[in-house]
């Protein structure tokens, strides 16, 4: 009981005692928490009394309290700090966690208890939780004979290890494949400050990679040779150039085991297993949506290419040149990042952007809490108060990149909201922005501004949660619904009142010029042929890998050939638009979490596009575009607060009044 992970925190909002937690505490604490939860499950499953909501559903929810208190800080450190020691601990813990989960989902006694709970008079949340839990039991193999259940456990343990290995290698590959150039001239187009940050002790310049394919520096670099070298470095990650970050065999093994798992469960392929867990229900419906949008997008790419030729002149346009020339056109028809940057200081985007919009919509306010400990110094914490001053949670932001930190941006729930447990949510947003020099402000690109608004949409989903059970709170919703609140929140980045509040000059505090503000609306649909094709190509790659049978999985040496063949067959291959993520560094799908589920961003966007239209029509007051408390209250009450306490389609219809229109997505993207 001296292990700080096993001792309930007495800090505000039950924030962990980060200063006391060492990597060596994680495995003992996790194993003890799993042991105690297993004992609690055994007591519930063997209880001779008839199953009730209290002695089964509530008891199982309570049994997860300590487990969550231990594991959430551990996984925060794995993703946000990383490094060899934590990587090794995560690799050891993963298979044990998989086996532990299967103890519950393959326990017939527990299934029978849930199945016999008398729900007469039960509230909506309780009835929905029981129904969904029974469905999850069946999806996880409860009806399989014993020998097949044992095989399922073996597959799940092996997959857990492989997914962790892939994720760690893909993170390492961002560093392993960094481009190194020898002269300042090769970086012409980048500012002196940018170049200075890349200079190494030996006088060379090192350009580290972000997790996606097209790197931001491609926009600025003048030299076609350097642009090509940078893109080549990016797309060759994981393909054997560096042995310690080669992911090809892991990809083959993961695809094979997932196909075997699907066959064991009686499904045609893994993509169908995943589709049945979400709103989509059917893998072919996913393919149909992606293919329809992809066809519109690739046609738009060809039109956009003609525009690029007008600024490229006689220069050949390659995939490495696209964003470079695109940015020049953006400055003519929309707004380029160079013009916007002085008006997009990170502090303003957060405190006068995302916070301002949330206050206008939901009545919540944010108070800085520098007294609350964090695991790294640059992090900030804000106490979130409801309209009447009642605390509803804590928001923390870890915006800056560091060695070992996972790439990309994400939200995680450090403490889950639960009326049963009496806990308020502690929600974190993570990004990988370059940390500015001390005393200076980080100036964001517009894409980064959208990222801040996007991740805060996830944060709001957690902060505004109001469910009884811990297991239903916040973002514990189907994977193809979870991106709905986050993408919806992006709309407020463009709203005139919100934009005017945060987009002020970093030195003069002058407002963003009206001419630039008005042209931002053109940025919404500018370049959507390229952006949509880039996304759809990755989403269809994800589906292609997971619609394979065991015998169809290609050998590790043929990953690149499989990619090209699959994209051509699905109608989204374009030589100038590589997928946003290629197979060998596609952490969403091979690192776990979004396997056969990357489509969910676009599936959710169908809902988003429709609700955006609601804000601007029925939800609007006096032409305010929906930025008012009444509209915010409806969204909060009917959708953001609900977690997984009812069918998400019911939450959507409670806001919109009908089923979603798929056409709204194409309209939103200007396609």
Give the pLDDT of residue 522.
74
Q: What is the pLDDT of residues 212-226, one digit of tens each?
A: 999 999 999 999 999
Q: What is the pLDDT of residues 450-492, one digit of tens each?
A: 999 999 999 999 999 999 999 999 999 999 999 999 999 999 9
Within 204-244, where are the H helices? 224-235
133-140: Cβ within 8 A, 24+ apart: 133/57, 136/105, 136/277, 137/105, 137/110, 137/111, 139/265, 139/273, 139/276, 139/277, 140/102, 140/105, 140/106
Domain edges within the chain:
12-105+107-140, 178-235, 245-334+527-598
The whole-angstrom separation of Cα 440 and Cα 436 is 6
Return the percentage of the chain with pLDDT > 90, whole number: 92
Report whether CATH 1.20.1050.40 matches the domain 12-105+107-140.
Answer: yes
Is 0.85 surpassed by the pTM of this model? yes
Q: What is the pLDDT of residues 48-95, one digit of tens each?
A: 999 999 999 999 999 999 999 999 999 999 999 999 999 999 999 999
Q: Does 662 have pLDDT greater than 90?
A: no
CA distances from 18 to 112, 337, 587 (A): 41, 37, 27
Return the structure tokens found at 524: 């919404």
The whole-angstrom separation of Cα 327 and Cα 217 is 12
User: Residue range 136-151: average pLDDT?
Assistant: 96
Give the pLDDT of residue 114.
98
Start-to-end Cα distance in the chain: 59
Q: What is the pLDDT of residues 306-355, one digit of tens each?
A: 999 999 999 999 999 999 999 888 877 777 788 899 999 999 999 999 99
Q: Quick one: fold of 245-334+527-598?
A: 1.10.1370
Give the pLDDT of residue 339.
87
The whole-angstrom separation of Cα 92 and Cα 168 is 13
Q: What is the pLDDT of residues 512-557, one digit of tens each?
A: 998 888 888 778 889 999 999 999 999 999 999 999 999 999 999 9
Give the pLDDT of residue 1.
66
What are the residue numbers of the active site? 455
Give the pLDDT of residue 333.
75
Q: What is the pLDDT of residues 36-57, one digit of tens each?
A: 999 999 999 999 999 999 999 9
């Amino acid at each position: 009981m001296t292990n700080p992970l096993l001792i309930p925190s007495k800090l505000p909002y039950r924030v962990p005692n980060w200063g006391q937690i060492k990597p060596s505490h994680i495995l003992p604490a996790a194993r003890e928490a799993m042991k105690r939860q297993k004992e609690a499950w055994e007591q519930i499953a063997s209880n001779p009394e008839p199953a009730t909501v209290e002695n089964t559903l509530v008891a199982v929810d309570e049994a997860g309290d300590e487990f969550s208190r231990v594991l959430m800080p551990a996984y925060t450190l794995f993703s946000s700090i990383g490094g060899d020691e934590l990587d090794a601990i995560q690799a050891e813990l993963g298979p044990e966690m998989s086996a532990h989960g299967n103890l519950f989902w393959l326990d017939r006694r527990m299934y029978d208890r849930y199945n016999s709970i008398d729900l007469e008079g039960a509230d909506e949340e309780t009835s929905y939780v029981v129904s969904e839990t029974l469905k999850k039991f069946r999806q996880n193999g409860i009806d399989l004979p014993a020998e097949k259940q044992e095989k399922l456990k073996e597959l799940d343990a092996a997959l857990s290890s492989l997914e962790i290995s892939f994720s760690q290698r893909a993170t390492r590959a961002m560093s392993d494949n960094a481009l190194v150039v020898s002269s300042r001239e090769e970086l012409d187009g980048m500012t002196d400050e940018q170049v200075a940050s890349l200079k190494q002790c030996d006088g060379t310049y090192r350009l580290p990679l972000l997790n996606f394919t097209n790197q931001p520096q491609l926009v600025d670099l003048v030299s076609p040779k350097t642009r090509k070298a940078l893109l080549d470095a990016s797309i060759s990650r994981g393909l054997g150039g560096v042995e310690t970050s080669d992911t090809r065999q892991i990809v083959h093994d993961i695809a094979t085991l997932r196909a075997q798992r699907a066959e064991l469960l009686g499904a045609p392929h893994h993509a169908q297993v995943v589709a049945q867990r979400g709103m989509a229900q059917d893998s072919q419906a996913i393919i149909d949506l992606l293919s329809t949008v992809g066809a519109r997008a690739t046609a738009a790419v060809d039109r956009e290419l003609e525009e690029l030729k007008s600024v490229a002149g006689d220069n050949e346009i390659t995939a490495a040149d696209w964003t470079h020339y695109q940015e020049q056109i953006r400055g003519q028809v929309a707004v380029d990042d160079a013009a916007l940057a002085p008006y997009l200081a990170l502090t303003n985007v957060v405190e006068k952007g995302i916070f301002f919009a949330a206050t206008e919509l939901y009545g919540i306010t944010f108070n800085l809490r520098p007294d609350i400990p964090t695991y790294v110094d640059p992090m900030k914490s804000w106490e979130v108060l409801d309209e009447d001053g009642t605390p509803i949670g804590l928001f923390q932001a870890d915006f800056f990149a560091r060695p070992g930190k996972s790439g990309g941006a994400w939200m995680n729930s450090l403490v889950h909201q639960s009326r049963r447990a009496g806990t308020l949510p502690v929600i974190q947003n993570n990004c990988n922005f370059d940390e500015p020099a001390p005393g200076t402000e980080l100036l964001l690109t517009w894409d980064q501004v959208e990222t801040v608004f996007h991740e805060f949409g996830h944060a709001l989903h957690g902060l505004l949660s109001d469910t009884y059970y811990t297991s239903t709170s916040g973002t514990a919703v189907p994977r193809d619904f979870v991106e709905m609140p986050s993408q919806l929140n992006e709309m407020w980045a463009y709203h005139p009142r919100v934009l005017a509040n945060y987009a002020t000059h970093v030195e003069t505090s002058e407002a963003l010029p009206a001419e630039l503000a008005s042209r931002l609306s053109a940025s919404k649909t500018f370049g959507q042929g390229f952006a949509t094709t880039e996304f759809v190509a990755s989403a269809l790659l994800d589906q292609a890998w997971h619609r394979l049978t065991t015998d169809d999985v290609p050998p590790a040496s043929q990953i690149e050939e499989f990619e090209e063949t699959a994209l051509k067959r699905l109608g989204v291959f374009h030589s100038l638009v590589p997928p946003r993520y290629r197979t060998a560094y596609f952490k969403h799908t091979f690192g776990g979490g979004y396997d056969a589920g990357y489509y969910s961003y676009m599936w959710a966007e169908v809902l988003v596009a429709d609700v955006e239209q609601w804000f601007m029509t029925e939800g609007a007051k006096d032409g305010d575009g929906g930025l008012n408390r009444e509209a915010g209250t409806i969204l909060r009450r009917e959708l953001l607060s609900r977690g997984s306490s009812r069918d998400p389609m019911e939450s959507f219809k409670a806001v919109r009044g009908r089923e979603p229109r798929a056409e709204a997505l194409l309209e939103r993207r200007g396609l």
